[in-house]
Amino acid sequence: MDSLLVTTGRPGFPMPAALTTRARAKVNLSLKVLGRRADGYHELESLVAFAGISDELTLEPGSELGLSIGGPLGGGLEADERNLVLRAARALADEAGPLRWGRFHLVKRLPVASGIGGGSADAAGALRLLARLNGIPRGEPALLRAAARVGADVPVCLDSRARVMAGIGERLGQPLRLPPLFAVLVNPGVPVETTAVFRALGLQPGQPHPPHTSPHPEEPRSGVSKDVPGGSGTPWSILRDAMSEDMAPQDEGSREKGLDRSALLRALAESGNDLEAPARRVAPVLGEVLAWLAALPGCRLARMSGSGATCFALFDDCRASAAAAKALQRSRPNWWVKPTVLR
């Protein structure tokens, strides 16, 4: 078990009991690359949902900031200042002033460098625990600034509620009340670096990205099942319009908006993930993963999340997703396969 101990903090406070939170996996149901800004950052627009599977993070309050890592996928992770949990704690202290903090313990169950925001979810979990410990409101600007400093996916992971995120992750729509989406998440055990995927995308600073097209023109759009109705009346813009009228900073008081399941599936069928084609060039095994998922009985849609390598398939009910996960695990025992519900 890796660990780090840093002597610092605020003495003189009574230490409450340990605090725990789940760091849920983030899944990009759809992802558009709008272009690359002059400063080199890529502008994105993505519908994000969160899975029932997660890492677990505990904070044992104390005068020393520390981190230990365990869990089935914690091997090889460094518990040093590069870890996003500690970076989040430092960022919040910079933004909000001296904090009560302590020793974190991370139980790692989500694969790393996998496109489901495991590290970002861990960082967001650290911010939530520190906010609870220090009485910081969830909508406090300092908390949001700290999240944005740590990583593009951290702001949306703070609440872990379905939203559309845009820009470089700093623009969040109102929370969405999605119908339960029964899914299977699959990772072939190949870490995919986000920087390598964006490099393969090949956009120059200031260059817009063309509209989404299939990475293989001779094939149907990757991951879209024939069972999902589509057509010219259900473009991505319908999904964008179904959420909030204005993209705005995260607001704890925002009202959740509902989205009909059939409308959601139609909109997803007309969208895609613009990072899938470059990710497949970086990690060709993704083509195999998506082919397996699309062939599973009852699969309504299969797609890559984020910049990969985790992919997902959607099903009509939990029995279908559980059966599909068991069948795939038998065929590919070395892959990480998890049935879950996305919300």
Q: Residues with catalytic annotation?
A: 26, 153
Which contacts of 39-45 are long-range, i.e. CB under 8 A and separated by 24 or more positions? 39/205, 40/205, 41/168, 42/168, 42/198, 42/201, 42/203, 43/166, 43/167, 43/168, 44/165, 44/166, 44/167, 44/168, 44/169, 45/164, 45/165, 45/166, 45/236, 45/240
- Residue 305 to residues 85, 113, 166, 332: CA-CA distances in angstroms? 22, 11, 16, 19
Distance of CA 108 to the CA centre of its chain: 15
Paired sense of beta strands 101-107 and 64-70, if any:
parallel
- Cβ–Cβ < 8 Å for 274, 32: yes
State the amino acid at position 182 in one-letter form: F
